[in-house]
Amino acid sequence: SGNFHWTKEVPQDPDGSGDFGDSGAQQLLGFRQTEADEELPKWKVMVQLTKPGTWIPVVWGVLCGAAASGNFHWTKEFPQDIFQAIVCMTLSGPCLTGFTQTINDWYDREIDAINEPNRPIPSGRVTGLDVALQSLGLMTLGWALAWQLDTWRGHEFPTLTAIALFGTFISYIYSAPPLKLKQNGWQGTYALGASYIALPWWAGMAVFDDSTLTPEIVVITLMYSIAGLGIAIVNDFKSIEGDRELGLKSIPVEFGIDKAKWITVGTIDGFQALVALWLYFVKDEPGYALALTALIVPQVVAQVRYFIPDPVKNDVKYQANAQPFLVFGILTTALAVGHTNGAGFGTNLWN
């Protein structure tokens, strides 16, 4: 499928009220495609192309990285750290994730013309020139913000710029031929998991203390991204027939539904458990390790109740019940790392 959303389907609000359930909001966030007879201003269509709803987990990842650095301060030299965190969120979310979603839709335009003809590009609302201008603009702005943050923080090596360039490269080869990682289940889903967990964590951490972004942390976040791989697989179950017809080698296509569902829960639970063990035995953070373990338990419960019995029918219900615990588990791990890096209470809440 290639379009990964932490909240892939959003329940409709029958009376048209409510923020997230409102059809117009869903449309602008990229969760609902435009109907054939709908007329939208061009700017709304261009924003829809960037799928703002997918920026949320990236912004969360930046917050986690900032917490993990141990050097983010809420009040010390206010508002410098908060402002720089917002700049990092902007380059990671609206700029580079927006770039990613824009080029992904461009390279999916032929498939979308068959399956989702009302999407911005196959419907003709957005031209190739529009895509080129928007993608180049967002990419360039993201790189410029990364370079500026490196300059502000006085980095000897432009760590954040390097992360931004690497993330852009991964985004491109994920969507574009000849590599087009999304065509292969393992490569594509892991690239997604790492893009939503490891890369924004690295960015947030690099802003506030790039010396804390050690090889150990790189390995741990990449390992945590395997749990993200499992989340990406969840989104592939409903599209198994279409993926098979289009020759996309998603995990459910390659292994079948029964094997794929166990691969999914194994990657989600197993690698979170390994991180908890790392916190307990390696980082000597038993409190955080137990907190992370407690956050894994309701995910397992949701898997037993919803996902394992029917991963196709219950994928959305499972994610609604399990995802909050996973993302708070990432934050718990970040707070533990921040504590080892000298952060005070609440990531230096009072200093």
pLDDT digits (tens, 9 = 90+) for 234-277: 988 988 887 888 777 889 999 999 999 999 999 999 999 999 99
163: phi then psi, degrees, rounded to nearest 5: -65, -40
pLDDT reported for residue 305: 97
Is the pLDDT at 4 greater than 70, yes or no? no
pLDDT reported for residue 38: 65
pLDDT band at 347 (very low <50, low <70, confident <90, very high): low
Q: Measure the CA–CA gap between 191 and 183, rounded to whole angstroms.
A: 12
Count of other CB atoms within 10 angstroms of residue 155: 18
Transcribe 27-93 into DSSP letters: HHHTSSPPPTT----HHHHHHHHT-GGGHHHHHHHHHHHHHHHS---SSTTTTHHHHHHHHHHHIII
**What is the model's pTM?**
0.87
Q: One-letter amino acid identity for 86? A: I
Q: What is the mean pLDDT of the chain?
A: 88
Is the pLDDT at 162 greater than 70, yes or no? yes
> What does the pLDDT look like over 127-156, one tens digit per residue?
999 999 999 999 999 999 999 999 999 999
* Residue 342 per-residue DSSP state: T
pLDDT reported for residue 184: 84
Choice between 345 and 150, residue whose per-residue pLDDT is larger: 150
pLDDT reported for residue 34: 60
Asked if 268 and 318 touch (Cβ cutoff 8 Å), the reply is: no
> What does the pLDDT look like over 306-343, one tens digit per residue?
999 999 999 989 999 999 999 999 999 999 999 999 87
pLDDT reported for residue 13: 42
Q: Measure the CA–CA gap between 47 and 29, rounded to whole angstroms.
A: 8
pLDDT reported for residue 342: 85
